[in-house]
Amino acid sequence: MSPESQPVQPQVRRVTVLGAGSWGTTFAKVLADAGRDVTMWARRPEVAEEISQRHSNEAYLPGITLPEQIGATSDPAKALEGADAVVLAVPSQSLRANLVRWRDLLPKGAILVSLAKGVELDTLLRMSEVISEIAGVPSGEVVAVSGPNLAREIAQGQPAAAVLACADHDRAVAIQQAAFNSYFRPYTNTDVVGCELAGACKNVIALSCGMAAGLGFGANTMATLITRGLAEMARLGAKLGADPLTFAGLAGVGDLVATCSSPLSRNRTFGERVGRGETIEEAKAAQGGQVAEGVASCVSIRALAAQVGVDMPITEAMYRVCHEGCAPARAGAELLGRQQKHEWS
């Protein structure tokens, strides 16, 4: 192929981040620290002003100083003007409604990046599929971010890695180059199905690990839940065409270990509160506005698994606790009492 006929690598200099929660703000910091010009959209004008003027977002990242080159506005049209890439950083179950309001403002040709981890209720679509449907772009052009990405640790500059999944590898590489800095190392992957399913499922498994901790169980129980959780995630992924190796990588076991083990994980913390005896509503209130995605995801993932005939017992147990009122101790006993089987059957 001659130099003239080779595809031009997309260049990402200006990035818009739509959403000012903990992970959206952290990813904006990652991009700014990598030398990008970043504008954030925040739903509340006072949050946008705080980010722009005081270089902080105390509600979500207390004590973290943000780079001065991050600007913010509550006007989505202003935020999106001239963006080479648009990062969608809103919760999975509100992505569709927000994107409907934003789609006519999206700059033509901008790379769309999803930070949301979940499967949509009712439609059972992955986040890249929702974005494709609403924004009118091929799903193969959406970049999905996954991996062990606890926001506060990354905002503090602690070393971390991530996976940028996109069927169009050039787009993934463009975001990789835009986000690579001294503490954040992104890898690319073309298995969008595996990366997105792993990112959604691990939140449900983290609920179970939190509940186990709340019940007073130790490392053996945690390791059992993590590995058996990984097994059911991989079964679902295999049925839906994912690459099995994805579940052994950063988007699979990497994200699973971090989310199931850390007190910074909203899903693990939520589960621990429920394990200690709080009601679902009490645990939600204690989150202070931060969303535990696994509570909704266990509904959609359970439905998706049933649709394709995959057994996901931990997901089923979390559904029963979160939506049918089953006590965590009883759910655990039922998991242990299931029919004995071969490990890989």
For the annotated binding site for sn-glycerol 3-phosphate, the residues are 117, 147, 202, 255, 265-267
User: What is the C-alpha to C-alpha distance for residues 315 and 302, in angstroms, rounded to an integer?
Assistant: 6
Annotated binding site for NAD(+): 19-24, 151, 266
Distance CA 57, CA 75 (A): 18
Q: Which of 202, 239, 284, 341 is catalytic?
A: 202
Angle between helices 313-324 and 219-239 (to 10 degrees): 110
Distance, in Å, from the CA atom of 219 to the CA atom of 48, rounded to the nearest integer, reads: 42
- Contact between 164 and 189 (Cβ < 8 Å): yes
Tokens of 141: 């052009």
Q: Give the whole-angstrom CA distance, residue 272 versus residue 255.
A: 18
Residue 202: active-site member: yes
CA torsion sign for 196, 197, 201, 202 is: negative
Query: Which residues are part of a known binding site for NADPH?
Result: 22-23, 43-44, 60, 117, 151, 266, 291, 293
250-253's contacts with Cβ under 8 Å and 24+ in sequence apart are 250/146, 250/147, 250/148, 250/161, 250/162, 250/163, 250/187, 251/146, 251/147, 251/163, 251/165, 251/189, 251/194, 251/195, 251/198, 251/199, 252/194, 252/198, 252/202
Report which of 300, 27, 265 is spatially closest to residue 145, judged by C-alpha positions: 27
Strand pairing of 70-73 and 85-88?
unpaired
Q: Going by DSSP bridges, is the β-strand pair 184-189/14-18 parallel, antiparallel, or unpaired?
A: unpaired
Q: Residues, the chain, total? A: 345
Judged by DSSP in three states, 147 sits in: coil
Active site residues: 202
